[in-house]
Amino acid sequence: MDSQDNAPEIRRKARGRPRGWDDKTAQNTIKSLDRAMEVFEYLSEAQGKALTALSDEMGQSPATVYRILVTLEGRGLVEFDHEEQVWHIGSRAFVIGSRFLRRTSLVDRARPVMRKLMEATGETANLGVEKEGSVLFLSQVETHASIRAFFPPGTLSPMHASGIGKALLAFMDEDRLDRLLANVQLQTFTERSITTPAALKEDLAAVRAQGFSVDNEEKNAGMRCIAAPVFDINREAVAGISVSGPTSRVSEGEIERLSRPVIEAAHQLTLAIGGRVIPPPP
């Protein structure tokens, strides 16, 4: 028998990138791909753009932008409307984005909880997480009422003017909160918007004390949202769950009643993902 037959099998460790290539300098990036992604991301935020508008607004030549769009179109990531002569994000982008949602069990675990919350309150239930200083909405169960809030998956919203955003900020590490507030402008959307760090921190203290947050027409006049945080095993707020609806139904007098099923839903989802609920303050 060959002595090599008894030799231990040597397996190469799988790596996600070459050793020593952990920097993001120019030598490790593909400029043409980076430029294409810039066009793709810009179009995703400004749907329905003509080639000339994209070129002018992005400061790139029409020929370059056109080649990028045609390449993306070949992959189904963008689509061209021949009648309107404008470009849109394509259906393939939604398919790829949906795969991101399947990366975590959070969305799957949240669906029955959100459905139950919608039925208990009669209002639209939402699920969101923090993404680079904004709220990223992952899922929604809409109410059957004719007037309703609508946050399609993938929507980004400022944290300071969002029920879910404030629920997450309230339980964020103080140093991280200060860094986030130092790098973001608290934009005014309505006369009720919170626009100073001091006022926001005062509001967040109330959120921690009562266990839920309220977007009191701070983003959209006539709409109110009630949210509560979802915690992981380390008792860190990793998501928020909320109900939102018109002030005619979600009135100030209804906030206390509606907050109870929202908090309960957040607790249920926390336990469903193996998290630990933070006990309310004495």
Residue 10 — very low, low, confident or very high, per pLDDT cuts 50/70/90? Answer: very low
- Give per-residue pLDDT as tens, 63-79: 999 999 999 999 999 99
Q: Mean pLDDT lowest for which of 8-12, 181-185, 269-273? A: 8-12
Closest C-alpha to 69, from 52, 279, 84, 260: 52
Residue 41 has pLDDT above 70, yes or no: yes
Q: Where in the chain is the domain with CATH 3.30.450.40?
A: 104-272
Span(s) in the chain for CATH 1.10.10.10: 26-95
Amino acid making up residue 260: R
Lowest mean pLDDT among 9-13, 53-57, 219-223, 245-249: 9-13
Class of domain 104-272: alpha beta
**Residue 65: strand, helix, or coil:** helix
- Kind plus residue range of the DSSP H or E element containing 226: strand 223-231
111 — pLDDT class (breaks 50, 70, 90): very high
Residue 141 has φ and ψ, to the nearest 5°, of -120, 110
62-74 helix and 31-45 helix, angle to the nearest 10 degrees: 80
User: If you average pLDDT over residues 155-165, what whole number do you get?
Assistant: 94
CATH of 26-95, one of 3.50.50.60, 3.40.50.300, 1.10.10.10, 1.10.20.10: 1.10.10.10
